[in-house]
Structure 1
Amino acid sequence: MSADDKITLYYSPQTRAAGARVLLEELGAPYDLRVLNMKAGEQRKPEFLAINPLGKVPTIGHRGQIVTEQVAIFIYLPDLFPQAGLTPALDDIRRGPYLRWIAYYGSSSEPAVIDHFMKRDPAPVTQSPYADYDTMLGALEKQLAAGPYLLGERMTAADILWGIALNWTMMFGVVPRNDVFVRYAERITARAAFQRVTAADVEMAAQHAAECAG
């Protein structure tokens, strides 16, 4: 990969962007960080809104193009670095299930968890994107119970996405800490890439807090 192909990750510590950084570390991908101090509101400044009008991270730049949305990033990057083995090939029978569970995160889990956290009633089951909260979680738990990963013995990028998400949502009490979810999240958070990013985030967050206080 040439210098022009290096990934730019627009980033803020201790946010969902950490998952994208862990993924880049797992892929062994060359990348640069463009760090936004969200405590100072840098994500709402015109410079970043011109890149991502929603003011969200993670956002990546690559080959002069911008990719937003966590699910898109988790599909795009592993396909860009297939040698890392974190994505099934297009002709692999696991490709469909792999895409299913990545899409399930964005289309079903996130809206369900937000509604649950906000104590909002879901839409009627025939109109809700996730049926209902318990059904959404139950389908995920059944898939993970067969383990150790979503697709069996092989870890994929989908597991990095889900493992980190479950770790966060269980930490804040939005998702129950049942044995299946806890063991699964621990497999991902025990990995060296997650540990490196977490340690770096602690330092970066402290620096941002000091900048705001100063």
Structure 2
Amino acid sequence: MNASQELTLYGAAASGSVAVEATLTLLGLPYQLIEGATWAEAAARDRVATANAMRQIPTLVLPGGEVMTESAAILIYLADLHPEARLAPAVDDPKRRQFLRWMTYVSSAIYSLHWIKPDVKRIGAPESARDAVVDAVHERIAFCWSHMDSQLTPGRYLLGEELTVLDVYVAVISRFGPWRERFYAAAPRMAEVIRRVDQEPRLAALWRKRFPQD
């Protein structure tokens, strides 16, 4: 892929966009990163607004200028675009159904709840209730991880013996509140897998750089 074919990713350290960075790293694809924590910086929101009116990350701009948003969609697209990397079950693989189920679940039932936390007024709660709302969000997230854990029978990885973008996605999103200690307690079967993903040699440098507080 030459410079004119390079991908552009709007993202930030310790955010959901790191799952996209990890997938691009596993695939060996070059990309330009435009850094900015949109939940905290107006300038970052303004930068991404040129590509995504929602002003959210991750936002991926493809070489032809087409824009992709929604982290699960981006991960599935990249995995399917490079089937030789085996980062997603093929369409005719029986594991594909559960792969799609859980990719969508992590996005909609867990990751989406973090949108509430920077501004609880988004759900009509007063700022004075922020601590209680955030606590409730964390309780719900822990419950959702527990439910997912009860439905899976992991092998070396969540869907069996091969690493997929689902493993990468969970390894990133489980780092957010209520944080890893709670995740390990709520999802003990997944915990062993995610510790393994944390140790993936191809991602070690990225994890250190993008989650420096871990």
Tell me the TM-score normalised to structure 2 length: 0.75
Deviation, structure 1 residue 71? 1.1
Deviation, structure 1 residue 144? 4.2
Q: Work out whether 1:180 is the aligned partner of 2:189.
A: yes
Q: Work out whether 1:27 is the aligned partner of 2:35.
A: no
The equivalent residue for 2:168 is 160
C-alpha spacing 1:40/1:67, structure 2 compared with 1 (3 Å): same
Q: Work out whether 1:137 is the aligned partner of 2:138.
A: no
Unaligned segments of structure 2, at least 5 residues: 118-131
Q: Which runs of 4+ in 1 moved over 4 A?
A: 37-40, 111-117, 132-135
In 2, the alpha carbon distance for the partners of 1:13 and 1:111 equals: 18
C-alpha spacing 1:182/1:169, structure 2 compared with 1 (3 Å): farther
Q: Deviations over 1:109-163 (max 9, x none)?
A: 2356769962448xxxxxxxxxx76763333112444333221112211111012
Q: CA RMSD in A?
A: 3.0
Pairing 1:1-214 to 2, within 5 Å after superposition: 1-36=1-36, 40-45=41-46, 47-62=47-62, 63-111=64-112, 118-120=134-136, 136-169=144-177, 171=179, 175=183, 177-178=185-186, 179-201=188-210
Q: Give the conservation status (yes or no) of the 8 Å contact 1:170–1:177.
A: no
Deviation, structure 1 residue 20? 1.1
Q: Give the conservation status (yes or no) of the 8 Å contact 1:143–1:150.
A: no
In 2, the alpha carbon distance for the partners of 1:196 and 1:105 equals: 25
Identity, in percent, stands at 26
Tell me the TM-score normalised to structure 1 length: 0.75
In 2, the alpha carbon distance for the partners of 1:202 and 1:136 equals: 23
